[in-house]
Amino acid sequence: MNKIRIKHDLPQLSYSFFILCIVLLLSSCSSREEEDSGNRGRPNILWLVAEDLSPYIPPFGDSTVQTPNLSRLAEEGVRYTNVFSVSGVCSPSRAAITTGMYPSGIGAHHMRTLYQQPAAKEMGLINYEVVLPPNVKMVSEIMRENGYYCTNNAKEDYQFHKSRLAWDESSVHAHWRNRPKDKPFYSVFNFGVTHESNTWNPFGRPYDLDTFPPARGTKWWVRFQGVKKPLHVPGDLEVEIPPYLPETELVVKDVRRMYSNIVEMDRHIGVVLKQLEEDGLMDNTIIIWYTDHGGPLPRQKRLLYDSGLEVPLIIWYPDKLRAGEMDDRLISFIDFAPALLSMAGIRPPEYMQGRAFEGQYRSEADRNYIHAAADRFDEAYDMIRAVRDKRFKYLKNFQPEKPYYLPLNYRENMATMQELLRMRDEGTLNDIQMQWFRQSKPEEELFDTENDPHELNNLADDPAYAKKLAELRGECKRWMDEIEDMGFIPEEDLIRQFWPDKKQPTTANPVTKVENGTLTIECATEGASIGYKFPKDESPWIGWRIYNEPIDLPEGQRVKIMAHRIGFVPSDTVTVVK
């Protein structure tokens, strides 16, 4: 499979895009009331997220299966061909996307924190939430503060429970169709069918293509119980097996299942796009599709090779702006949050560590490097840091005495992993396939990804590359120092730093004051957000309104109030009646 590498060339802005930028500029300077009355000029943003998938689709050079919906988005939009996660696994990656901060700089680098695997619990690890710095918010909360209706359907997995103010709705029923009339939306849809687990789990919940999302109050999942996932790839289809995996019947079967899941995911994408078209919203919606990290197979997911970090990204712009373009700038997941805000005409906050690569507040400078980290995965610790420019990848192994391969009970559900272990024990793997099972690692690794895309030939000891090695080594140290990398803190100490005595702190109850018909609210917990609901809001799928200024409270009006700092227990709910 050939990787696409085409130079980025800035296009001329179309007249319609120029007008859109002017509208965004004006709306960003308006009051909240003016924004609410002028929402029709603000772009909607549809955010489509697949799981565990490298660029194994036709728009990025792999024609094994057809993906008509993604291919359409690519033909009419922009393909970004140098995009990388900050981790080879989902929870740290999603922490970065929702905060705009590096996981290893905020203590969100271990996979995972909220729901420990049994083997991790046996090691004494508790379920815990990362406590974010007090000024840091989820990006969807910032979108809501700026007048957007925000929904998530439905995966969260941020290393902390979502802020109570993050979403208007986060559930399997969440959809832009539930928004108030004319309110701009930011709607996220997650497509789990390509997840690693779906290579071995024969059962799964496909989309109900006729009634998506499912109706509230129904046992919509019952019809899928015991139903096997469809297989969209014929048994005689030739598939390419990467050289670090053996080409056996079981491995080929897993790879075919991976491609079948891609076809199913594309069908799911088509359902959502069709609904957007039915609602007449394509003309004012930016569509963003990407995957949450690299591929699902062994030596892909969880690792800092490109197979675990590189992802496809497609952005479709209104009026098909930049249609068919390929953009080869280096982009990191840490850039997604500021870019999202920038595309909505919202200035990204200073604390965000990424660069807005598109939109009104696009960074003047493109990045020269991407950075990534690996730490604990389930029950196994191995601290590694990565830096990559457009061609070379540097890995710093902080525990070189540990093997490359570390057993994970979860991963060993996969037939391919079982096959690797069987053949390792039999001595039937070749030298390339045995690399992953080496019992120790060098402290540094350097790979030429252009000539060695699978990262099999370490150049760190080659004098010809000494200058590049020194450059990337220095960049790795600079980055780790800049973000105050928490990887060196033992996790037990990190947990106590977040939760003293391993007891979760609680957000202080809000304090209210009603004077001359105006309600003011305060919370003593630094970094807490305050939310409120009127009786008409009390349906379970309506989120808390964000409090940011005093509220006019008519006589007899009742209002419920709560506060929440991420990582803390939410406050009690307080009711006020004038």
Q: Looking at the annotation, which residues are catalytic? A: 90
Tokens matching residue 553 = 């409270």
In the chain, the amino acid numbered 484 is E
Helices 249-278 & 415-426 angle (0-180, nearest 10): 160
End-to-end CA distance of the chain: 67
CB-count burial class (<10 Å; 0-12, 13-18, 19+) for 270: middle
What values do phi and psi take at 331, rounded to 5? -135, 135
Fill in the DSSP letter of residue 125: P
DSSP helix/strand/coil, 62: coil
In the 8-state DSSP scheme, what is residue 544? P
DSSP three-state, residue 312: strand
Q: How many CA atoms lie within 13 A of 432 on its CB side?
A: 12
Give the DSSP letter string of 262-281: HHHHHHHHHHHHHHHHHTT-
Query: What distance in Å separates the CA atoms of residue 267 and residue 194, rounded to the nearest whole number?
Result: 12
Give the CB-side neighbour count of residue 187, counting CA atoms within 13 A: 26
- Which element (helix H / strand E) includes 385? strand 380-388
Strands 529-533 vs 558-564: parallel, antiparallel or unpaired: antiparallel
How many DSSP H helices and E strands does the chain contain?
14, 20
Residues 6+ apart with CB under 8 A from 335: 354, 355, 356, 357, 367
Q: Kindly state the helix (H) or strand (E) to which residue 82 belongs, with its residue range.
A: strand 78-84
Record the tokens describing residue 45, joined without a space. Answer: 């943003």
DSSP letter assigned to residue 569: B
User: Closest Cα to residue 505, out of 229, 136, 130, 183?
Assistant: 130
Diameter over CA atoms, the chain: 82
Residue 468, number of CB atoms within 10 A of its CB: 18
Look-up of token digits 């900050």? 86
Structure tokens at 144: 């809501």
Bridge-based pairing of strands 44-50 and 380-388 is unpaired
